[in-house]
Amino acid sequence: MKEVIAEEPAREEIKSWKDFFNANIGEEEIQQLLPSVKMGRIVLDQEEEVFHCELRKPIKKENGEMITRVTIGEPTTAQIRAAGKKGDEFGVALELLSSCSELPLGLVNRIKQRDFLMLAGVMGFFA
């Protein structure tokens, strides 16, 4: 995928998301998200307050359909509570991603690491 946004405008975009959600996002999180933002793979829909994230590696569903884009919204307290019952931190992250993206946990488990890191970084805006 080719870079579509230069680094400084991409940083400004992330800063605008940080301000929009009043999020506590640090430089480490910004660095994690920057490559995906520069490639135009993350877009915030401010009206719906959701992020649309384009996957590097599509997820293949059982019926053969390919999922290329994941939409992530802010978790509810019920979703956070349910995810918290999963025990370990990684299990909680997977469960939250599943509920906030409306993807079944089985599909979330198929997400490649780089895509997972991008999605986890986006989830940080809701923390």
pLDDT at 1: 62
Query: What is the Cα–Cα distance from 49 to 20, expressed in whole angstroms?
Result: 9
Name the nearest CA neighbour of 42 among 127, 121, 126.
121
| Cβ burial, residue 42 (10 Å; 0-12/13-18/19+) | buried
Mean pLDDT by 10 residues, the chain (127 residues): 87 96 94 95 96 96 94 94 85 93 94 95 92
pTM: 0.91
Domain ranges across the chain: 7-126
Q: In 3-state terms, the chain is what percent helix, strand and coil (to 5)? A: 50, 20, 30
Give every strand in the sheet of 50-60, ordered side by side.
42-45, 50-60, 66-73
